């Protein structure tokens, strides 16, 4: 397509403005007479744009920390970024200096893709506080108890799915993750396989996950590029964003509309959305608050579905490759729960080794290896370093969980590390994987109980092993993970067998069906 005169003029103006735009960011530290934190050397204009890793960035950043220190600085054009790799620095900045470090950095792709509805990604503002308040009301520990019957039902649905077709275990736990949140938020029952809403969330989150890491899209570092026309060379990000926005719009609107239609017809079950809307209407609340409800529900839907899939995927991988861990947990469950019922939430405090496995899953392969980025709302000085307003500050959750001083031999999957010398669970609940300070994940209580119940239920009912080929040889599992914001284990085969015929009876009866 030929460029018209106005487009040419627009591009020339953008290019003409670029040099002083970049240089102003470069010269800023000299004005303040304080250095940025140490980091890899960069070029005058692009900074470290060519140095940013696309594969396992959390590992590369952890290696940089060994070379430059726990506070590593780099710059992508004008975008200042700091990666934190120590718990001390994360607590000091994200919690003790929360007033400065609770913002979110401007990520242009996020807005272009329509993800600005997401409470977890919103800037620190009054709008965020309004959304966060509703989220906390619905997902604080006491409020999360009301979701337990749904979690129990959906976990049992997963067990019956695995019993029927163990080779499709991945599809069954993907369904579980979406089913819990869709039922709790909207009263919608996910289909056992190929459900529209499961696919919708996965596609939308995958596009986000691949677009907001440092260096993932040039427009994030050079915001003025958002004005380029979609056909312009190098502006493929706009076409990608337009495709993503269709998904995020549907994710917000379609299930919310479904609830409202059921409410109008008098057929809606009580859910988070219907309950809040009924209360809103009864109180004569503001009509525009419906948008807040829609946003909070969609945030829970998107975040819960994808992150839970990652944790349970790691669970299957870890148990398949560590039979000694699996056997020890099964012995504990057999002793406490017994052979005549399935585990319940009430068993959790009596199963310390299973709890240690749960913690090790979160530590060993964190769902969000680089957390969710914070942004500075004003200039700051820390340990003699200048940290300007608008800096992206990344908590390297992978580095925190693989700190050899805290977790010796961190690459080993070893639940024993969570016991003290007296054989009791220690106080380390690996809470850092859920974030820090005012931006800590408000849905963590519901998410963690879903993963724990899935873990204990699988351990109680099935044996997981490496699959074998036709010649009887074990099929290796690569152990590789995806590289996006949310990291998933790559697909692998798994041998899943029932532990006993009594277990078969319990699984079938959990659905209210006799045998």
Number of domains in the chain: 1
pLDDT of residue 220: 81
Is 380 in a helix, a strand, or coil? strand
- Which residue in this structure is represented by tokens 């899943």? 496
Query: pLDDT grade, residue 287 (50/70/90)?
Result: confident
In a domain, 265, yes or no: no
In a domain, 239, yes or no: no
Q: Does residue 193 carry a pLDDT above 60?
A: yes
What value, to the nearest 5°, has the Cα angle with vertex 106 and ends 101 and 111? Answer: 135
What's 419's domain CATH number? Answer: 1.10.630.10
Q: Are 403 and 363 in contact (CB under 8 A)?
A: no
Q: Does residue 15 carry a pLDDT above 70?
A: no
What HEC string does 343-401 produce?
Answer: CCHHHHHHCHHHHHHHHHHHHHCCCCCCCCCEECCCCEEECCEEECCCCEEEECHHHHH
pLDDT of residue 246: 94
d(CA 296, CA 138): 10
Q: Are 223 and 324 in contact (CB under 8 A)?
A: no
Residue 441 annotated as binding site: yes
In the chain, the percentage of residues whose pLDDT exceeds 70 is 93
Summarize pLDDT for 455-510 with one digit per residue, the tens.
999 999 999 999 999 999 999 999 999 998 999 999 999 999 999 999 999 999 99
Compute the Cα dihedral for 393, 396, 400, 403 and give only its sign: negative
Mean pLDDT of the chain: 90
Is 465 in a helix, a strand, or coil? strand
- The boundaries of the domain holding residue 85 are 5-228+294-509
Residues 6 or more apart whose CB falls under 8 angstroms from that of 11 comprise: 3, 228, 232
d(CA 473, CA 167): 18
pLDDT of residue 189: 92
pLDDT of residue 1: 38
**63 alpha-carbon distance from chain centroid:** 23
Q: Are 154 and 188 in contact (CB under 8 A)?
A: no
pLDDT of residue 2: 41
d(CA 407, CA 426): 13
d(CA 470, CA 384): 62
In a domain, 66, yes or no: yes
d(CA 81, CA 354): 38
Strand partners, 474: 468
Burial annotation 467-500 (CB, 10 A radius, 16+ → b, else e): eeeeeeeeeebeeebebbbbbbbeebbbbbeeee
Q: What is the DSSP letter of 107?
A: -
Summarize pLDDT for 126-162 with one digit per residue, the tens.
999 999 999 999 999 999 999 999 999 999 999 999 9
In the chain, the percentage of residues whose pLDDT exceeds 90 is 76
Q: Are 330 and 354 in contact (CB under 8 A)?
A: no
Summarize pLDDT for 20-70 with one digit per residue, the tens.
444 445 555 544 679 999 999 999 999 999 999 989 999 999 999 999 999
Q: Are 60 and 42 in contact (CB under 8 A)?
A: no
Summarize pLDDT for 368-416 with one digit per residue, the tens.
999 999 999 999 999 999 999 999 999 999 999 999 999 999 999 999 9
d(CA 96, CA 8): 49
d(CA 513, CA 297): 32
Residues 6 or more apart whose CB falls under 8 angstroms from that of 374 comprise: 93, 94, 101, 102, 103, 104, 105, 392, 393, 394, 395, 436, 439
In a domain, 62, yes or no: yes
**Is the pLDDT higher at 227 or at 11?**
227
* Count of Cβ atoms closer than 10 Å to residue 286 Cβ: 10
CA torsion angle for 436, 442, 446, 452 (degrees, to 10)? -10
In a domain, 461, yes or no: yes
In a domain, 383, yes or no: yes
Residues in the chain: 515
CA distances from 458 to 157, 201, 446, 474, 492 (A): 12, 25, 18, 21, 17
In a domain, 436, yes or no: yes
Tell me the pTM: 0.90
In a domain, 237, yes or no: no
- Which residue in this structure is represented by tokens 């839907």? 301
CA torsion angle for 196, 198, 199, 201 (degrees, to 10)? 120
d(CA 296, CA 204): 16
């Amino acid at each position: 397509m030929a460029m018209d005169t106005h487009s040419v003029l627009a591009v020339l103006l953008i290019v003409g403005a670029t040099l002083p735009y970049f240089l102003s960011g470069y010269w800023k530290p000299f004005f303040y007479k304080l250095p940025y934190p140490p980091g890899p050397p960069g070029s005058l204009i692009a900074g470290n744009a060519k140095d940013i890793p696309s594969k396992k960035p959390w590992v590369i950043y952890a290696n940089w920390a060994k070379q430059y220190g726990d506070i590593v600085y780099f710059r992508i054009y004008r975008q200042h970024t700091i990666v934190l790799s120590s718990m001390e620095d994360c607590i000091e900045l994200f919690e003790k200096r929360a007033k400065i470090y609770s913002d979110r950095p401007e990520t242009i792709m996020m807005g272009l893709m329509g993800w600005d509805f997401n409470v977890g990604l919103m800037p620190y503002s009054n709008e965020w506080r309004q959304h966060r308040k509703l989220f906390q009301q619905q997902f604080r520990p006491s409020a999360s108890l009301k979701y337990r019957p749904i979690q129990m039902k959906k976990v049992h649905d997963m067990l019956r799915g695995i019993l029927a077709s163990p080779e499709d275990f991945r599809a069954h736990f993907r369904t579980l993750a979406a089913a819990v949140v869709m039922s709790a938020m909207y009263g919608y029952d996910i289909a056992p396989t190929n459900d529209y809403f499961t696919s919708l969330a996965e596609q939308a989150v995958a596009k986000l996950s691949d677009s907001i890491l440092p260096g993932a899209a040039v427009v994030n570092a050079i915001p003025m590029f958002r004005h380029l026309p979609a056909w312009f060379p190098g502006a493929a990000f706009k076409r990608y964003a337009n495709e993503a926005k269709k998904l995020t719009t549907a994710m917000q609107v379609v299930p919310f509309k479904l609830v409202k239609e059921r409410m109008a017809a008098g057929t809606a079950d009580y859910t988070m959305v219907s309950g809040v809307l009924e209360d809103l209407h009864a109180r004569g609340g503001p009509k525009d608050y419906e948008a807040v409800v829609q946003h909070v529900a969609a945030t829970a839907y998107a975040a819960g579905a994808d992150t839970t899939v990652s944790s349970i995927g790691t669970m299957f991988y870890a148990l398949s490759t560590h039979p000694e861990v699996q056997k020890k947990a099964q012995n504990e469950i057999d002793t406490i729960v017994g052979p005549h019922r399935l585990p319940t939430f009430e068993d959790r405090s009596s199963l310390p080794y299973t709890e240690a496995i749960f913690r090790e899953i979160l530590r060993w392969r964190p769902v969000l290896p680089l957390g969710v980025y914070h942004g500075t709302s004003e200039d700051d000085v820390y340990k003699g370093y200048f940290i300007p307003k608008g800096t992206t500050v990344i908590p390297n959750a992978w580095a925190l969980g693989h700190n050899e001083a805290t977790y010796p031999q961190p690459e080993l999957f070893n639940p024993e590390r969570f016991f003290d010398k007296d054989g009791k669970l220690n106080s380390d609940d690996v809470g850092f994987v859920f974030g820090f300070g005012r931006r800590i994940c408000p849905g963590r209580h519901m998410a963690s109980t879903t993963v724990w119940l899935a873990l204990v239920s699988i351990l109680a009912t099935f044996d997981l092993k490496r699959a074998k080929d036709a010649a009887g040889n074990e099929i290796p599992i690569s152990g590789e993970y995806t590289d996006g914001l949310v990291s998933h284990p790559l697909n692998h085969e798994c041998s899943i067998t029932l532990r006993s015929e009594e277990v078969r009876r319990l699984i079938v009866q959990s659905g209210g069906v006799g045998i």
